């Protein structure tokens, strides 16, 4: 049991913290939001320089050689500043598929460019009917000689409008809700038949509706087993949940600190509002929610590395439930304790609330996962 | 960063579990599995078994009979006791009065009291709260006046847990009525057999006799029974209260009860199917399991911090988190256990309780399954958890002032 960071981990944390502290104040973020991309190309280059884009890849493949803990540390810093760049989608999600699903040859064509900041990925999984069930897939990939032909549409593809490559789930066999018969494919965003419609999301991120009509894919487009792709999806999503948990903790901590600062300065009735016990107790409850979330972010980072997919999924479900519950409480109370000012677009608090809300909804909210965990028997075995 | 137990810690857990399985009297385990408190005789018997093994005081220094464990080992030991379930070493002796005597007592006091505390030859109780001094403990009024070689004690203590079993009581008394609130208090050890002490039971809402009022009427206490410095007893009290780093987390105890809840739910029919298939009920169980998992990790973080800074008594905000969440979880589980029993929970069937049904009824399976007796009682009784040990509202005050800067 050791929660201490290694020297290298501390250096990584410090350098990310310094970069974002210098370049990602709330006013900077407002400016980044106004660019055509909706995020900062300059920051993207800075991430590349710092090794954050190659973070989880082996050094021999052009990466930084980081593990789950390093991802956690960076995600937490990104959460603190509610960053807008497609780091999570490219590095955690896209990177996860490359690390766990791609062949060395497939990686060789992508990882070095990705690490340099010249190539971005997005995960195209959600469909109109699927909600949070990533196995519910109507998009089809049918055999075409040695390759495949892709047809269908994906929605809410986060950062889909800037992606160079989509990681797409498609049905290769069986019925729409079967757990088998699912393939995972790498699809060039510029391939004929790919149509991308970008839009903004409530938390300031970007997303896209992506349609595939008769998109021809080579034999080398598939990641791993063309009919057994779901375990790969689950594994990558479990790692993504751990990163989302860390990101939420960073955002919650920043929101809590911001709230405390406000309570110590805002005056009403001739004294600071932080002197009122009702607000003090609410702040203490925010701290309880935050500490419980921080504990579960550690637990998520540890559990996501578990080789047993059943135990891992249960643990990640628990992470999602706790993080979602805490994020909701801290987010809502950040707004409540600030009062009217937090309702304004120009003030940071509301933006943290929105990001925390969207974080909970990513890959299934707490209500979804509490059901999944309940149906799988929960965490404690009967006596 | 490595967030898992080490191999040595895992082996230690096996050793503890093996010892408990080989030595815990079956009757004690059975009784506790039913959710009941162990009897006085069972607590004494088990602590003497632990003492023979050198495990009666996990947190004490080796020179006073402690086992010399790391923080992690202490935690594992205590968790295994809760999971068994087995009685914990008596808190009044081992976690309250003992550590105060070790830290503030003189040589004679250590020699006289500590070995008997370890072996539970003396059962101690805590005389802190008074009718007018609850959350505001320093408002206590019980007086001690020096007369020759004695302190003469007059006043009243209340909520004195298990005073009816006690041989000795440790008291906070006012020795300087003119000093500021916290500054005129002393820490006094009193033999419960001293003339002038009256113990009157307080029966709590479930019918149990756990707590008492204790009256002191010209009680003569030898001067040598004062611990530490006269009028500096508040230091002892603060030390005692701050000593419990893991607060009321009791993760193992909650896990044991959730496991029992699930067994009961599997055997209980509701709406034509086992209660375990009721998604509404089971969702509530899952919500608590998740909170408990998070709490366990919070405890781990406290342990890791403690192991890095051994001997540090620095206040840690997570201690309040553990108290608040730990008690909320225990109360939540007790409520679900009662709910799982459905109508059977309402049989006032615990023969140990005042006004409870007699033993014949309690053992009559036609009236209710044996596991159902007392579940409502535990639910009612455990409302105390968010009140005692610094109420959960006091914990929030502490967090706001000490850690949030409000």
Residue A382 lies in a domain: no
Q: Do B304 and A69 touch (CB under 8 A)?
A: no
Domain check: are A131 and A113 in the same one?
no
Q: Which chain A residues have a beta carbon less than 8 Å from that of B282?
A: 374, 378
CATH topology of domain B7-89: Butyryl-Coa Dehydrogenase, subunit A; domain 1 (1.10.540)
Residue B357 has pLDDT above 60, yes or no: no
Share of chain A above pLDDT 70, in %: 100
| B23-71 pLDDT, tens digit each | 999 999 998 988 788 999 999 999 999 999 999 999 999 999 999 998 8
Q: Is A380 on the interface with B (CB under 8 A)?
A: yes
Whether residue A323 contacts residue A296, with contact meaning beta carbons closer than 8 Å, is answered with yes
Q: Which 222-241 residues of chain B touch chain A by CB within 8 A? A: none
Average pLDDT value for residue range B312-324: 81
Q: Which range (A217-226, B194-203, B374-383) has the least confidence? A: B374-383
Q: Which 170-229 residues of chain A touch chain B by CB within 8 A? A: none
Q: What is the CATH number of the domain that holds A351?
A: 1.20.140.10
Query: In terms of Cα–Cα distance, which of B4, B43, B275 is closest to A298?
Result: B4
Within 13 A of A339's CA, how many CA atoms are on the CB side? 8
Among the partner-chain residues B396, B397, B406, the one whose CB lies closest to the CB of A263 is B406
Average pLDDT value for residue range B110-137: 96
- The residues of B assigned a catalytic role are 244
Q: Which range (B68-77, B86-95, B352-361) has the least confidence? A: B352-361
Nearest residue on chain A to B282, judged by CA atoms? Answer: A374
Q: Which 270-329 residues of chain B touch chain A by CB within 8 A? A: 279, 282-283, 285-287, 289-298, 300-301, 303-305, 307-308, 317-318, 320-321, 324-325
Q: Is B174 on the interface with A (CB under 8 A)?
A: no
Domain check: are A254 and A362 in the same one?
yes
Q: Closest Cα of chain A to B248: distance in Å? A: 14
Average pLDDT value for residue range A336-347: 97
Among the partner-chain residues B1, B297, B298, the one whose CB lies closest to the CB of A9 is B1
Residue B358 has pLDDT above 60, yes or no: no
Residue B309 has pLDDT above 90, yes or no: no
Q: Which residues constitute the domain of residue A108?
A: 7-119
pLDDT at A1: 67
Domain check: are A142 and A215 in the same one?
yes
Average pLDDT value for residue range B134-163: 95
Domain check: are A250 and A348 in the same one?
yes
DSSP 3-state of B352 = coil
Residue B372 has pLDDT above 90, yes or no: no
Domain check: are A104 and A136 in the same one?
no
Q: Is A13 on the interface with B (CB under 8 A)?
A: no
Distance CA(B396)–CA(A278), nearest Å, equals: 10
Q: Is B95 on the interface with A (CB under 8 A)?
A: no
Q: Which 64-103 residues of chain A touch chain B by CB within 8 A? A: 69
Distance CA(A359)–CA(A331), nearest Å, equals: 11
Domain check: are A147 and A274 in the same one?
no
Q: Does domain B124-231 have CATH number 2.60.120.560?
A: no
Question: pLDDT category, B347, cuts 50, 70, 90?
Answer: confident
Whether residue A220 contacts residue A183, with contact meaning beta carbons closer than 8 Å, is answered with no
Domain check: are A214 and A313 in the same one?
no
Whether residue B95 contacts residue B104, with contact meaning beta carbons closer than 8 Å, is answered with no
Residue A275 or residue B366, greater confidence: A275
Q: Give me the total of CB pairs closer than 8 Å, taking one residue from chain A and one from chain B.
A: 157
Question: pLDDT category, B356, cuts 50, 70, 90?
Answer: very low
Residue A308 lies in a domain: yes
Sequence length of chain A is: 383
Last residue of a domain, one of A94, A119, A144: A119
Work out the mean pLDDT of chain A and round it to a whole number. Answer: 97
Residue A313 has pLDDT above 60, yes or no: yes
DSSP A174-218: S-TT-SSSEEEEEEETTSTTEEEEEEE-TTS-EEEEEEEEEEEE-
Residue A103 lies in a domain: yes
> Can you tell me which residue has the tokens 């809300």?
A357
pLDDT at A229: 98
Domain check: are A250 and A331 in the same one?
yes
The CATH class of B244-403 is: mainly alpha
Q: Which range (A95-99, B78-82, B137-141, B366-370) has the least confidence? A: B366-370
| B253-265 pLDDT, tens digit each | 999 999 999 999 9
Last residue of a domain, one of A221, A250, A285: A221
pLDDT at B363: 67
Do B7-89 and B244-403 agree at the fold level?
no
Residue A235 has pLDDT above 50, yes or no: yes
Residue A163 lies in a domain: yes
pLDDT at A129: 97
Q: Do A264 and B255 touch (CB under 8 A)?
A: no
Task: Report which DSSP code applies to B121.
Answer: S
Domain check: are A39 and A153 in the same one?
no
Last residue of a domain, one of A221, A241, A264: A221
pLDDT at B353: 57
pLDDT at A28: 98
pLDDT at B311: 65
Residue A309 lies in a domain: yes
Domain check: are A128 and A212 in the same one?
yes
Number of domains within chain A: 3
Domain check: are A261 and A352 in the same one?
yes
Segments making up each domain of chain B, as ranges: 7-89, 124-231, 244-403
Q: How many CB atoms lie within 10 A of CB A341?
A: 14
pLDDT at B352: 59
Average pLDDT value for residue range A117-138: 98
Q: Which chain B residues have a beta carbon less than 8 Å from that of A314?
A: none
Could you tell me which residues are beta bridge partners of residue B152?
A: B145, B220
Domain check: are A314 and A273 in the same one?
yes
Q: What is the CATH number of the domain that holds A39?
A: 1.10.540.10
Average pLDDT value for residue range B352-361: 54
Stated pTM of the model: 0.93
């Amino acid at each position: 049991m050791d929660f201490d960071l290694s020297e290298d981990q501390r250096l990584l944390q410090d350098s990310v913290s310094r970069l974002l502290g210098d370049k990602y104040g709330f006013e900077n973020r407002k400016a980044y939001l106004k660019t055509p991309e909706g995020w900062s190309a300059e920051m993207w280059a800075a991430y590349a320089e710092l090794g954050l884009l190659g973070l989880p890849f082996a050094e021999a493949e052009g990466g930084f050689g980081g593990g789950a803990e390093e991802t956690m540390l960076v995600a937490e810093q990104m959460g603190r500043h509610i960053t807008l760049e497609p780091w999570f989608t490219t590095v955690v999600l896209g990177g996860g598929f490359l690390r766990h699903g791609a062949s060395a040859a497939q990686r060789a064509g992508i990882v070095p460019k990705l690490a340099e900041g010249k190539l971005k990925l997005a995960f195209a999984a959600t469909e109109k009917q699927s909600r949070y069930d990533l196995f519910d897939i109507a998009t089809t990939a049918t055999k075409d000689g040695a390759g495949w032909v892709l047809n269908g549409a994906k929605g809410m593809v986060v950062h889909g409008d800037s992606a160079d490559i989509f990681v797409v789930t498609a049905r290769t066999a069986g019925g729409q809700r079967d757990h088998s018969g699912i393939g995972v494919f790498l699809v060039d965003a510029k391939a004929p038949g790919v149509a991308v419609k970008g839009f903004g999301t409530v938390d300031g991120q970007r997303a896209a509706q992506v349609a595939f009509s008769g998109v021809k894919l080579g034999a080398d487009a598939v990641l791993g087993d063309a009919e057994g792709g779901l375990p790969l999806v689950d594994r990558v999503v479990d790692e993504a949940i751990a990163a989302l948990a860390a990101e939420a903790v960073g955002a919650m901590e920043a929101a809590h600190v911001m709230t405390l600062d406000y309570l110590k300065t805002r005056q009403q009735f001739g004294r600071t509002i932080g002197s009122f016990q009702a607000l003090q107790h609410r702040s203490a409850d925010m701290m309880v929610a935050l500490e419980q979330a921080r504990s579960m972010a550690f637990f998520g980072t540890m559990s996501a590395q578990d080789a047993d997919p059943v135990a891992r999924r249960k643990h990640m479900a628990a992470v999602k439930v706790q993080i979602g519950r805490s994020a909701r409480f801290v987010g809502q109370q950040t707004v409540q304790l600030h009062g009217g000012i937090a309702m304004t677009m120009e003030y940071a608090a509301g933006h943290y609330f929105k990001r925390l809300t969207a974080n909970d909804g990513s890959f299934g909210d707490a209500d979804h996962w509490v059901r999944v965990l309940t149906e799988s028997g929960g965490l404690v075995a009967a006596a | 960063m490595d967030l898992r137990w080490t191999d040595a810690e895992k082996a230690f857990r096996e050793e503890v579990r093996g010892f408990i399985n080989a030595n815990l009297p079956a009757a004690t385990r059975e009784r506790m599995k039913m959710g009941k408190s162990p009897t006085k005789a069972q607590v004494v018997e088990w602590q003497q078994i632990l003492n023979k093994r050198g495990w009666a005081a996990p947190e004490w220094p080796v020179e006073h009979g402690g086992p010399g464990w790391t923080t992690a080992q202490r935690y594992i030991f205590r968790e295994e006791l809760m999971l068994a379930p087995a009685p914990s070493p008596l808190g009044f002796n081992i976690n309250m009065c003992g550590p105060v005597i070790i830290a503030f007592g003189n040589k004679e006091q250590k020699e006289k009291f500590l070995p008997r505390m370890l072996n539970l030859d003396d059962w101690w109780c805590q005389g802190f709260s008074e009718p007018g001094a609850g959350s505001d403990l320093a408002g206590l009024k019980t007086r001690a006046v020096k007369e020759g070689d004695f302190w003469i004690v007059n006043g009243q203590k209340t909520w004195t847990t298990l005073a009816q079993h006690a041989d000795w009581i440790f008291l906070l008394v006012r020795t300087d009525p003119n000093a500021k609130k916290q500054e005129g208090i002393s820490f006094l050890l009193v033999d419960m057999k001293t003339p002038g002490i009256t113990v009157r039971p307080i029966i709590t809402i479930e019918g149990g006799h756990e707590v008492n009022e204790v009256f002191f009427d010209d009680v003569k206490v030898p001067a040598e029974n004062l611990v530490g410095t006269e009028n500096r007893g508040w230091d002892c009290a603060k030390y005692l209260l701050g000593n419990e780093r893991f607060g009321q987390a009791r993760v193992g105890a909650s896990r044991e009860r959730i496991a029992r809840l699930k067994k009961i739910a599997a055997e209980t029919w509701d709406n034509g199917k086992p209660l375990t298939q009721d998604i509404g009920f089971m969702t509530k169980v899952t919500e608590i399991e998740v909170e408990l998992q998070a709490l366990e990790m919070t405890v781990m973080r406290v342990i890791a911090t403690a192991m890095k800074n051994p001997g540090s008594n620095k206040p840690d905000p997570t201690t309040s988190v553990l108290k608040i969440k730990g008690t909320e979880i225990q109360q939540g589980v007790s409520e679900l256990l009662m709910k799982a029993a459905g109508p059977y929970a309402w049989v006032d069937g615990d023969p140990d309780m005042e006004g409870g049904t007699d033993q014949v009824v309690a053992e009559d399976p036609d009236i209710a399954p044996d596991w159902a007796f007392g579940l409502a009682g535990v639910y009612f009784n455990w409302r105390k958890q968010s009140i005692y040990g610094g109420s959960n509202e006091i914990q929030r005050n502490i967090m706001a002032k000490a850690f949030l800067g409000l």
